Amino acid sequence: MPKRKGIVMQFSGRRQKIVRLTGDRQADLYPHSLQFYGQPPTENISLSEFETFAVDRLKLLKTVENLGVSYVKTSDQYATKLEGEFRKLHFPYRVETDEKSLDTEYDKRRKDHISHFILRLAYCQTEDLRRWFIQQEMDLFRYRFHILTKEPAHDFLKFNNLHYESISDEEKNTLREELINSSYGFSAPKVEEHDFYKVPFQDALDLVRGRKVYLREGLAYIPHQEIVAIVLNDFRTRLSKALAITARSLPEVQSDERLQPLLNHLSHAYVGQDYSIQKNIGKISLEQIDPFSTKSYPLCMRHLHKALRENHHLRHGGRMQYGLFLKGIGLTLEQALQFWRSEFIKGKVDADKFDKTYAYSIRHSFGKEGKRTDYTPYSCMKIILSNPPSQGDHHGCPFRHSDPELLKQKLQSYKIHTNGITQVLDLVKGMHYQLACQKYFELTHSVDDCGFSLNHPNQYFVESQRILNGGREIKTEVTQNETPQQILTNPAPKSATAPGRTLPKPKVPPKRQAANGIEDSNEFFQ
């Protein structure tokens, strides 16, 4: 592992030691638990640390996205769940004062700084990626700023040259009635208790538009808890410009053969369980596929299965997406060859042409041909962000790639009630495609809260089977084409959950180490 060098960062204005960190570890480098990420890191880090930091921050941002749709962002539930994620992933979220916490605070702030810049590299590549990244980083920043107490908030603003002047007690008394009447939810005692800032009104247009502030002589008088809107606007502007600059520099970064595969995978990264064939081989029979498709398939796979049955053919993108999904739920190589051959010969492909043209790619996906790579099923992020379908294709994510009206008709045909369809379409409109699929799961399984964050089509299938089987594993059926030796049985858990009940998220196996370099990372990020 390369020796870690010191970080050199230049800030405008003076340096301030707000919190003393461990020993002499450059305590003035990260004086706050909150950052504007104005200067990039310049130290050397290992490839393993690069990957770990990036994946952990992506997990944090995915949690921010999911909680933002599930809960009101100012609610106690939102704060409690997000705070738990901060602790679990070791990111800073509040000013620490006790000696024990200070021992690890530097490492948390360093991780926060470096991981942000790594994801900038990965998420500057397209407009959709930039938009998603900015939104999640803004929500993350909003939460962290809100929990700052008065003095650390003042220090942060001052350190970042955000010179918002707080009004004197004398001026506050003079404008008391105006401030009470113009500031939402403020009484006389609350006005006394809180600071107010004078800001040029053009910097507070959102608050002015919402009639949340008092205006006088071109200045907006903003209560302390509303100043976050101004700071967020500044943060968004800076981050948007920074991503544009990063995008222009990306070709130079991508020329580094160590980083290019990592960055490409990060932008499509799935950060949950690995649904690979090793755990599930031989779990299902071919006769189970049709009933599974209507009960336990996510919408993308249900659409592909229906198109295959109707047209007796799928193009390459559809065969890869659906074929790897089937592999992940338990189809063996022999079953896969039989399944695709029997369907294709019903169309315009005879058995001889199938063996010459299509059988090779199926064996290849199982690691039996070519480079012998044992491919894993596609994650939601990979399906949403790569290889969009063109005319005649059936792969992709219906929530991302389908016309909203066609999606509505499809949901109606599956007997989803009107209110549920509206909820799904609202999530699609907000570009929360995985959350829309999660809502589809809840509607088709009659649960109020599915109890997991959906990241993978095979995760959808596993969770569906757990509900339908009362918490047990998939029930395996032995057919004439399968022998008992081919079937891996799994005992039911000691305590089964009743059908229709919310189930806990399955345990994720420990993350594999990336010390072996790029080869490991390819499998890790797929």
pLDDT tens digit string along 64-82?
988 887 777 888 999 999 9
pLDDT of residue 297 exceeding 70: yes
DSSP class of residue 484 equals G
Query: Residue 103: its pLDDT value, please?
Result: 67
List the one residue out of 217, 136, 133 whose CA is nearest residue 171.
217
Which pLDDT band, with edges at 50, 70 and 90, does 506 fall under? very low
Query: Residue 144: its pLDDT value, please?
Result: 93
Residues 6 or more apart whose CB falls under 8 angstroms from that of 173 comprise: none
Tokens 């900038």 correspond to what residue? 120
Average pLDDT taken over every residue of the chain = 80
- What is the dihedral sign for C-alpha 39, 43, 48, 52? negative
Whether the Cβ atoms of residue 172 and residue 196 lie closer than 8 Å to each other? yes
Whether the Cβ atoms of residue 256 and residue 111 lie closer than 8 Å to each other? no
DSSP class of residue 283 equals -
Chain centroid to CA 177: how far?
A: 45
Q: SS in 3 state form for 236-274?
A: HHHHHHHHHHHHHHHHHHHCCCCCHHHHHHHCCCCCCCC
Whether the Cβ atoms of residue 519 and residue 526 lie closer than 8 Å to each other? no
- Please state whether 446 falls in left (phi above 0), alpha (psi between -120 and 50) or beta: left
Beta-bridge partners for 294: none
Looking at per-residue confidence, does 311 or 372 come out higher? 311
Distance between CA 519 and CA 515 in Å, rounded? Answer: 10
Distance between CA 362 and CA 323 in Å, rounded? Answer: 8
Looking at per-residue confidence, does 122 or 24 come out higher? 122
Output the furthest CA–CA distance in the chain (Å, rounded): 91
pTM: 0.61
Distance between CA 242 and CA 341 in Å, rounded? Answer: 51
Distance between CA 183 and CA 178 in Å, rounded? Answer: 8
Query: Residue 4: its pLDDT value, please?
Result: 39
Distance between CA 268 and CA 434 in Å, rounded? Answer: 13
pLDDT of residue 28 exceeding 90: no
- The pLDDT tens digits for 273-291 are 767 655 667 778 999 999 9
Distances from the Cα of 343 to the Cαs of 19, 116, 336, 337, 402, in angstroms?
67, 47, 11, 10, 25
Which pLDDT band, with edges at 50, 70 and 90, does 25 fall under? very low
